[in-house]
Structure formats: structure tokens, C-alpha cells
Structure 1
Amino acid sequence: MSAVDGLVLVDKPAGWTSHDVVARLRRLAGTRKVGHAGTLDPMATGVLVVGVNRATRLLTHLVGADKTYRATVRLGQATVTDDAEGEVTQTADPAAVAALTAADVEQALATLRGPIEQVPSAVSAIKVDGQRAYARVRSGEQVALAARPVTVHRLDLLGSRPGDGLLDLDVECDVSSGTYVRALARDLGAALGVGGHLTALRRTRVGPYDLDRCRTLEQLGESFTVLPLAEAARAAFAVRELTADEARTLRFGQRLSPSGLPAPVAAFDPDGTLVALLEDRGDTARSLLVVPTD
């Protein structure tokens, strides 16, 4: 087993599944204990947070982090998958696409900002009667998923490029966990009456981790390094500095006084070692996880 513990921040290449990346890092790290915090579709690129050894225990608490994406939405065509990999199901009259104004686009974008009820893409990994929705779609079924609440904190238009009866929009968004950018593209096209789908997607941030800290698979193959466990936790969570007695108390499975900080709280012993993730429950702070010692 590898002695490495920490997060690997990968700039995922196009054409790779998140599972492909995990498999590659298992070989590089010399351990099977590798997982990721939030899938990226094969066509997407950008930030994929991967945990190695003990850092895999942090991943559950990182999945819910807000994320930032840059994307290209093609107006004038809808597809079965809401992205460029699916069959075109609708093509709008080029005149209708050409008639769209900047004000029309901004008005439609405004309806997608803030707390919204979003119907996930039919080819999502959500399970329907025990089977992934995408598997049902690929077998020819019609899948209708229920809407669920998500928050689009920011959705900005960066530029537009008309051509061949279509209109490509470059956008950037900050979204809550569980938001499907493909579904935003679909709903934007529907709001404008011309259909829409995603042609490019790049995740530029997951919680506190952005592209500037990421490395490509080629770079990791040349020099495999991780973001140490303690440093990763300090960047992602509220921090509580413990006394030696408090650290010992947590390691024995006992509780502390509440911190008043938003959960999860990363608790560190005096030498800077991550001891646990905590949350307040009434008049105590309980462990969400205790990090095993070496």
C-alpha cells in the first residue's frame, strides 16, 4: 500500500470518464484506495477532486461544495442528451435564431438565476427503479425525472458567436451541488423557443479548489504529488484548533463543547494534524469522522 495521503487536484482531459481518471491514479499512487468527489462527463474537462488513502474519507463532505463552470450553449438545436454527444431532436428555424436579441437572451438567463426547480438531464446518473437514468435512455426508454431544488448563484454571458442558423453562447456560472449545466442549456433554449444544448463544459472550481492548483495526468505521471490531508481540510472547511486534551478526547470517541462554526469543522491537534471533522449537535460537538492515526 502507498503511504501517500491527500487530495489530487486533476485537470481532467476530454474523453476520459471520472472512473478512468481514478483507475490511472490508482496505478500512480500504488493503492486501490482512491475515489473522486463529483463526476465529470467524458466530454467535460477541468477540476476533478480525487482522494488517496485516508483523504477518501473527506470526499463525502466535499461532494456538496459549490462549483464554477465555463460552458458553451448552442441555441437552435436540442438533443436527447442535452449535449453535443446526443442525437438532435429539434432544429429551429434559422430565422427565429437570427431574430434573438441580447435582451432576449438576458431575460431568459435571468429566469435561470437564483433558487430554481431543475429537472435533471434524462441521461444523468440518477437512479429510476434501481437503474441509472442514462442506462434507461440508452436502451430506448423515455425517462421523466422529477424536478429538484438547486441554486444558480451566478450565470453570466461572456460572449456569443452566430453561424449556420445557430447561436453559440459562452457562459460562466457558479452553482450549488447537484446542478446540471446541461439542463441549464436545455432550459435556456426552451425559454427562447429555439432549443439548446451544451457543446463544451469546463469545471474551473470545486469549493476552494480551482484550476490553478490542478495538474494534468501527464504532469502527475512525471511527478505524483498530493495536497496533504491537513492542508486540504484547512482550505475546504471551517477550522477549530484543539488542545492536546481535546484531541485526545476526540480520538477516544468522546464529544466536545460546541464551536458555533458551520459544519463540517476541521479539528486539528496542536501539531497541526487533522484529528476529525465535527458538527455541533445541541450543546456538544460530535465527530462526523475521526481520522485514523498512522
Structure 2
Amino acid sequence: MSDLVGGGLLLVDKPAGCTSHDVVGRLRRVLGTKKVGHAGTLDPMATGLLVIAVERSTKLLGHLSLTDKTYLATIRLGSSTTTDDAEGKMLATAEPAALDAVTDDAVTAVIGTLTGPILQVPSSVSAIKVDGQRAYDRVRAGEQVELAARPVTIHRFDVLGPIRRGDDAIDLDVLVECTTGTYIRSLARDLGAALGVGGHLTALRRTTVGPFAIAGAVDVYGPDGVPERGGPRPEITAEFSARVAAAIIPAADAVRLAFATRDVDGALARDVRYGRPVPASGIPGVYGLLHDGDLLALVEESGGQARPRLVFDPA
């Protein structure tokens, strides 16, 4: 599509049943370009916000500060699985008496210990590489994988609404605000383990990534939904492609959401396009330089000059 040269960011509401890579592949077909990338994966069972970059804006992916994320999740207490979510094989189930002993106050107390800066052991079926190979590939090959604990921060871990109790399970809906690298299914696992009954994730939806929110995110599959793997691909109409393309946030607008910005005149814009530094203005950290409403570069100041970190619109 000829109007995608500068590209931008597209907020996608990923449905269940597809990978983040599937969404990228779908958008390459919908938009008619190979230059599509994403910032942060979601498991196939998860739904919600994927931040997608298109065309030249794929350059921004390594610079966007997307460290904080928000999730809505459902945790089931009373059983543990091989994957810490509902897609894994059952490992153990709790006795009814053990579940009866889990009070609301006990749940609240354990959640408190899982809030704030913590060390978290990622799920063994995560995409973390172990000696050059993804952990989940090693698990599928029958290996026992033990990953080292990693520091993450849980800003909020709130129970939403009443805790639902059944004969063989306790379900709770939660809201989690956390730093990148946090595994929500690991929170479910650790909550259940601390309560002595096991736990796993049964639903997950991401609602924010950095400054971007799910409101206004687009469905890139349409009424046909996610096609069966290996099955026929549904037709993509020109109308559908145009509707998705219209939802792309121009690069300059996306940078305004994620960074401080500064407008420069034509002379300074020319210097920036050639990768030359320009006089500093006292803005801390990385920020965007704009000219006539268009994104020129991301810069950072040092030694009295704003030096390009990324020239978005080179000469």
C-alpha cells in the first residue's frame, strides 16, 4: 500500500488461538508489506494488546519504553499443570479439605508477598533461551528445565470481585500491573504453591503496554476469526485492508505518546537528517525531534548537544 512508507504503530487486539508471529504474518498479507514487527509476545491462549510496528516505524521497536504492562487474568487454585496454564497436562490436584482451608484472608496475605519487587522463576515453557535453545522446545523434547529466578516488579496484584468457590477449585479474577518480563502464569503457580493447593492460569488478557491501551485496538482477523492451522486462508478484501491501515498511528503521534518531543526549524532538521547533533534544550532522557509535524529522530542530550539515537527520516 503506497501510503505506508513512514508506517506507524498499530494497536491490535489479539484473539485466542494464534501466536504473536501469526498476527505479524496476517498483517503482512492485510497491509501488503513485509516490514511488520511486534513489541512483546502473547501466548496463544492469551488475548489483548499487541503493539505492532509497520514499515519504517519498525525502527522504533528497540527504542520504545514499554516496560510496564497491565493484565486481567483468571487464576484457578486447586490444581497445577505442566505449563502453569490451562493448556498443560495436570500435575496434581488438591484434596477438598485443603481447598476448604484456603480463606480469602490467606489469599490476600499471599498476594501481598507477591507484590512489589520480587524474584520470579519463569515458567519452564517460556521462550527464554537455555544454551541457545528455547526453554519450551527443551521441555517438549522431554528435558527437565530449571530456569533461574529473575527480578521483576509487581506494581499491583488485585483481586477483582468475589472469589468463586467450587467443589474442586477456587477461581479468582485479578488485575496485575507489572514490569516487562513478568510471567502471569508464574504468579498463578506461586500463589497456588504458597497456599498449598497448586494453581494455574485459565485466562489472560493484556490491556496496556507502556503508554498504549487496548481501547481502540483493532481486530485483524475479521468475522472469519483465526483460521485453522494448515487450513485455507480466508480472502482479504480491499475494504478490510483499508480499515486496518486507517487504524495505524502515525510515527510522530506514536512518539508523542511514548516520549517528550521537541520541534525544530528547517536548518536543524537538515542537520538531524544527516545524523549531526544539534544544540541541547535541557530535555532529560531520549526524546523525539519533529519538524512540520513529522518525526525526524530520537535523540539524547550529552555535552550540550542532542545526539541522534535513531534517525527516522534520513537525508
TM norm structure 1: 0.94
8 Å CA contact retained: 1:2, 1:31:
no
Structural mapping, 1:1-294, within 5 Å: 2-4=2-4, 5-62=7-64, 64-159=66-161, 160-218=163-221, 221=241, 223-224=243-244, 225=246, 226-269=248-291, 271-292=292-313
Q: Is the 8 A contact 2:286 2:298 kept in 1?
A: yes
Letter in 2 for 1:245: A
Q: Which runs of 5+ in 2 are unaligned?
A: 223-239
Instruction: Provide Cα deviations, 1:127-174, integer angstroms capped at 9, x if missing partner.
Output: 000000010011111111111111111111103211132101100011
- 1:63 positional shift: 6.4
CA deviation profile, 1:198-237 (whole Å, cap 9, x unmatched): 0000001111211112011245557122111111111111
Deviation (angstroms), 1:91:
1.1
Which one-letter code corresponds to 1:272 in the other structure? G
Q: Which amino acid aligns with 1:244?
A: G
Matching residue's letter, 1:145 = L
Residue 258 of structure 1 and its aligned partner are, at CA, apart by 4.0
For residues 237 and 251 of structure 1, the distance between their equivalents in structure 2, rounded to whole angstroms, comes to 19
In the TM superposition, what is the alpha-carbon distance from 1:286 to its structure 2 partner? 2.2
Amino acid at match of 1:101: T
Unaligned runs of 5+ in 1: none
Superposition RMSD in Å = 1.8
Given that 1:38 and 1:63 are in contact with CA atoms closer than 8 Å, whether structure 2 keeps it comes out as no
Which SS does the other structure have where 2:197 is aligned?
Answer: coil
Distance 2:95 2:192 in 1: 13
Whether contact under 8 Å (2:275, 2:314) holds in the other structure is: no
Contact map agreement 1:95 1:165 (CA 8 A) in 2: no
53-62 vs 165-174, which deviates more?
A: 53-62
Equivalenced residues, count: 293
| Residues 1:6 and 1:93: Cα distance change in structure 2 (over 3 Å) | same
> 2 CA distance for matches of 1:174 and 1:240?
30
Check whether the contact 1:22–1:35 (CA below 8 A) recurs between aligned residues. Answer: yes
Equivalent-residue separation in structure 2 for 1:105 and 1:276 (angstroms): 48
2:138 counterpart letter in structure 1: R
